[in-house]
């Protein structure tokens, strides 16, 4: 019998092979039934899964030098958690993007499904103005219950992470290398601090060096994990602008801080504003655009107490990620009329919120087990 743990080591092993990503992994799993069987299959059988000869040869060449068991032992010995895209703990928002990573490596606190996230990005060569703005906005976002997501790079990224931590909030750092290779090295202490009050995340196996081509790909995860991307300072060809483009492709909001027309590191942000990004002069601009102006108050109301068994059932299906009413009905097994009526009442009570198109989210964070009060 193949268990989830058994399969996970083969997810890790296959994604350690160059050329194997989400699509080819799905092809193998679809053809063989399990990745464990695919790992043991001869080369001619792997070809039948629909992979081209170059990829098949890559699998055969690397497979002989990879031990799935040794990979898993190394990961566990270093306290790394692995989340595959078929697990319920995989971030639902990230799975919405086209090129979502099949495997995530994480350290620190678990990724929460009931949190709001904003990516804060910008230049490594921040001005005094940019540093001040990044610090103030990141601190305000964190104090409002928003998790700050960034890439641990020098400049704006570093300031955003540190400001969120200093404000007592959560932050997530997305690496462009393995989690055991902190880059830049000067941010080792910051990475350690993030693990105590947040999460470090990577799609790359342990030991992966920070190659140049990894950074643009990493940026799709920054935006994919977030409700929106805030660009503080960026020149026209910067990684922050790549993140903004990913955000637009992924139907995320893009926010930009205006800067001097004479400053090279404000050309990108000013162009984003000209192209329709929301101009940001304070944290409230972001919260209003995302309809989260009451989030700070909601974070103080830490416990949801449903009044009926139906309310408890619906709360169990909802999170901070939007869920369509049809999917709520399917998951709960309740008739649409009952679900619709109950959600309407729960919205009046402030327990849930409709965010458009009959999609619902929880309006408060769940901190304790449900208590159902039946009259």
Model pLDDT, residue 369: 37
pLDDT range class, residue 372, cuts 50, 70, 90: very low
Tell me which residue range forms the domain holding 14. 4-77
Indicate if 193 and 308 belong to the same structural domain. no
- Domain-ending residue, one of 224, 256, 289: 289
Q: Is residue 97 part of a domain?
A: no
Indicate if 122 and 271 belong to the same structural domain. yes
Q: Say what the pTM is.
A: 0.77
Model pLDDT, residue 11: 95
- Domain-ending residue, one of 62, 77, 92: 77
pLDDT range class, residue 134, cuts 50, 70, 90: very high
158 pLDDT above the threshold of 80 = yes
Indicate if 153 and 264 belong to the same structural domain. yes
pLDDT range class, residue 364, cuts 50, 70, 90: low
Model pLDDT, residue 354: 81
Q: Is residue 63 part of a domain?
A: yes
Model pLDDT, residue 302: 44
Mean pLDDT computed over 75-80: 95
| CATH code for the domain of 229 | 3.40.50.450
d(CA 6, CA 1): 9
Indicate if 264 and 311 belong to the same structural domain. no
131 pLDDT above the threshold of 50 = yes
pLDDT range class, residue 367, cuts 50, 70, 90: very low
| CATH code for the domain of 351 | 1.10.10.10
d(CA 311, CA 208): 46
Mean pLDDT computed over 144-170: 96
| CATH code for the domain of 55 | 1.10.150
Indicate if 272 and 305 belong to the same structural domain. no
Contacts for 4 with CB less than 8 Å, ≥ 6 apart = 87
C-alpha pair distances (Å), 69 with each of 16, 36, 85, 351: 13, 12, 20, 45
Q: Is residue 56 part of a domain?
A: yes
Q: Is residue 84 part of a domain?
A: no
pLDDT range class, residue 375, cuts 50, 70, 90: very low
Model pLDDT, residue 59: 92
Indicate if 180 and 227 belong to the same structural domain. yes
Indicate if 247 and 133 belong to the same structural domain. yes
Could you read off the pLDDT of 95-109 as tens digits, one per residue? 999 899 999 999 999
Q: Is residue 88 part of a domain?
A: no
Give percent of the chain above pLDDT 90: 71
Indicate if 53 and 166 belong to the same structural domain. no
Could you read off the pLDDT of 17-42 as tens digits, one per residue? 988 988 999 999 999 999 999 999 98
> DSSP class of residue 333?
T
Model pLDDT, residue 359: 87
351 pLDDT above the threshold of 90 = no
Contacts for 262 with CB less than 8 Å, ≥ 6 apart = none
Indicate if 170 and 271 belong to the same structural domain. yes
Q: Is residue 140 part of a domain?
A: yes
**Number of domains composing the chain:** 3
Q: Where are the alpha helices (DSSP H) in the chain?
A: 4-15, 22-32, 35-40, 43-47, 53-63, 68-77, 128-143, 156-166, 188-196, 214-224, 239-249, 267-274, 283-289, 295-300, 309-317, 325-332, 336-349
Indicate if 260 and 193 belong to the same structural domain. yes
If one compares 294 and 354, the residue with the highest pLDDT of the two is 354
Q: Is residue 91 part of a domain?
A: no
Average pLDDT, the chain: 89
Q: Is residue 102 part of a domain?
A: no
Indicate if 154 and 276 belong to the same structural domain. yes
Q: Which of 273-287, 316-330, 344-358 has the lowest mean pLDDT?
A: 344-358
Q: Which of 1-10, 303-312, 351-360 has the lowest mean pLDDT?
A: 1-10
Nearest to 32, CA basis, from 66, 67, 7: 7
Indicate if 264 and 183 belong to the same structural domain. yes
Could you read off the pLDDT of 180-238 as tens digits, one per residue? 999 999 999 999 999 998 999 999 999 999 999 999 999 999 999 999 999 999 999 89
pLDDT range class, residue 374, cuts 50, 70, 90: very low
Q: Are strands 253-256 and 278-279 parallel, antiparallel or unpaired?
A: parallel
Angle among Cα 360, 372, 358 to the nearest 5 degrees reads: 10
Model pLDDT, residue 66: 93
Model pLDDT, residue 174: 98
Model pLDDT, residue 150: 98
């Amino acid at each position: 019998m193949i268990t989830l743990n058994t399969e996970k080591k083969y997810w890790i092993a296959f994604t350690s092979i160059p050329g194997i990503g989400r699509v080819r992994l799905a092809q193998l799993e679809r053809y063989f039934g399990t990745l464990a069987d695919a790992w043991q299959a001869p080369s001619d059988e792997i070809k039948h899964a629909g992979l081209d000869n170059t990829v098949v040869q890559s699998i055969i060449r690397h497979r002989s030098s990879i031990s799935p068991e040794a990979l898993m032992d190394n990961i566990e010995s270093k306290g790394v958690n692995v989340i595959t895209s078929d697990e319920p703990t995989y971030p639902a928002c990230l799975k919405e993007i086209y090129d979502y990573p099949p495997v995530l490596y994480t350290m620190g606190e678990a990724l929460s499904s009931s949190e709001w996230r904003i990516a804060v990005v910008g230049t490594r060569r921040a001005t005094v103005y940019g540093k001040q703005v990044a610090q103030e906005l990141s601190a305000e976002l964190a104090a409002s219950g928003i998790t700050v997501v960034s890439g641990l790079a020098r400049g704006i990224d570093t300031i955003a992470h540190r400001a969120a931590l200093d404000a007592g909030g959560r932050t997530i750092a997305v690496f462009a290398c393995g989690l055991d290779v902190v880059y830049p090295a000067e941010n080792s202490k910051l990475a350690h601090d993030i693990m105590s009050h947040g999460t470090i995340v990577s799609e790359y196996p342990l030991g992966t060096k920070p190659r140049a081509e990894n950074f643009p790909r990493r940026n799709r995860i920054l935006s994919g994990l977030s409700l929106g991307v805030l660009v503080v300072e960026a020149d026209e060809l910067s990684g922050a602008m790549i993140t903004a483009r990913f955000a637009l492709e992924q139907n995320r909001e893009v926010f930009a801080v205006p800067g001097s027309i004479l400053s090279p590191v404000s050309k990108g942000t000013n162009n984003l504003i000209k192209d329709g990004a929301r101009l940001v002069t304070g944290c409230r601009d972001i919260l209003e655009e995302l309809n989260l102006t009451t989030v700070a108050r909601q974070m103080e109301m830490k416990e949801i107490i449903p009044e009926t068994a139906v309310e408890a059932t619906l709360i169990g299906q909802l999170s901070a990620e939007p869920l369509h009413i049809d999917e709520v009905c399917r998951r709960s097994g309740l008739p649409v009329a009952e679900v619709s009526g109950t959600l309407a009442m729960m919205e009046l009570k402030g327990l849930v919120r409709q965010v458009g198109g009959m999609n619902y989210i929880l309006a408060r964070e769940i901190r304790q087990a449900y208590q159902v009060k039946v009259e």
